[in-house]
Chains A and B, each alone.
Chain A
């Protein structure tokens, strides 16, 4: 009786999991996809437009660098 019950439970678990998998795949299959050429062009355009604001790419003049090397002070 117990083994019949547990194999029935396992069976319905398998079915629940299988249904969930199909449900998830249906969601993932249903999206609209754009061409990689368009996606790439958009990424390149963003990088191009924002390059001038990118301090790590362009470099920072010492006078504007909040992390410039601290020089030791001597008090005379």
Chain B
């Protein structure tokens, strides 16, 4: 048998072994385990702020760790820094390329980043008298779908070129390239200890990566279309994904499998974005049908909806103090709910 044939046979054997090992620990699922749990209360949130200022579709938003400021990105070619309490705009940063797909706030509050169809991640300093570009991170060969700062020196990116990368902002070079997806990478989420991250891609897979050694440690199947959104559960032992297949799923890292799905026969719009409440009990998922649905993460039931946008909800975010949820839309508005 040729070597390639031998390798293919070994690969098939390993896949069977992995499936069997997953099955062996699948003694229940999350919904069954939570059957006896009191249901989450019916959640009815009100719009507290409607942030008006963008002139075109909003594609991304990200909270600052101070729980007050947030950055939003629109294809009107601007990043806006908002004070969510007053509703005032603190900064409007013009973008070199208006085809923006992601924005990120550094944990320090000193920097923000943006990127999109220009294939670059641009990092800005907010603390100079006039906001300045400090670096253009240019090496991806496909669009930038997501960026997240580890700190003021390091940033992770996900790209349509099927890779994720860890960059040294000062040198502008990629420190590590994460290679394993076979479809455009659409989203990433960093673990709180910053040793690992998870990514979702158009190959319908989610992957867990070790930041230090660059290795893909685990691959999670189940979705049947592009994974557009991903977020860690607060313990870091599980994560939630949202997909064009109109469902969200929770995967447990230590069981190495899907433990519950969030779907409804009447929902036939793709999931664009998601965010979790502070305890992890509530999932806020933005959909193409203009709504943001609220799911009980443990029981898998839909317990509320945020209606109010006049177009697709493209981004969702809950600040670290859990005091509200922000939705951003193609209708050009951001709304703050609690």
Contacts and interface: CB of A to CB of B under 8 A. Distances in A.
Interface of A: 11, 14-15, 18-19, 21-22, 24-29, 31, 33-44, 46-47, 50-51, 53-57, 60, 65-69
Contact of A41 (B21, B33, B233, B338): B33
Interface stretch (B5-13, B143-151, B188-196): B5-13
A22 B11 contact: yes
Contact of B324 (A21, A33, A40, A56): A56
A28 B68 CA distance: 40
Contact of B217 (A21, A27, A35, A36): A27
B338 A65 contact: yes
B101 to A, nearest CB: 27
Interface stretch (B36-44, B107-115, B158-166): B36-44
Contacts of B15: 25
B162 to A, nearest CB: 14
A50 B254 contact: no
Contacts of B310: none
A56 B259 CA distance: 24
Interface stretch (B116-124, B261-269, B278-286): B278-286
B55 interface: no
12 contacts: A15-B4, A18-B3, A26-B14, A28-B219, A29-B14, A31-B218, A40-B30, A44-B34, A57-B40, A60-B338, A67-B48, A67-B324
Interface in B281-338: 281-282, 297-298, 318, 321-325, 336, 338
B171 interface: no
B277 interface: yes
Contact of A57 (B4, B27, B85, B277): B277
B72 interface: no
B252 interface: yes
A67 B85 contact: yes
Given A15-B7, A67-B48, A39 B338 contact: no
Nearest to A36: B255
Nearest to B260: A40
A44 B298 contact: yes
A55 B323 contact: yes
B49 interface: yes
Contacts of A57: 40-41, 43, 277, 279, 281-282
B255 A25 contact: no
Given A18-B7, A50-B278, A56-B43, A36 B218 contact: no
B205 to A, nearest CB: 11
A58 B46 CA distance: 14
A65 B48 CA distance: 10
A14 B280 CA distance: 44
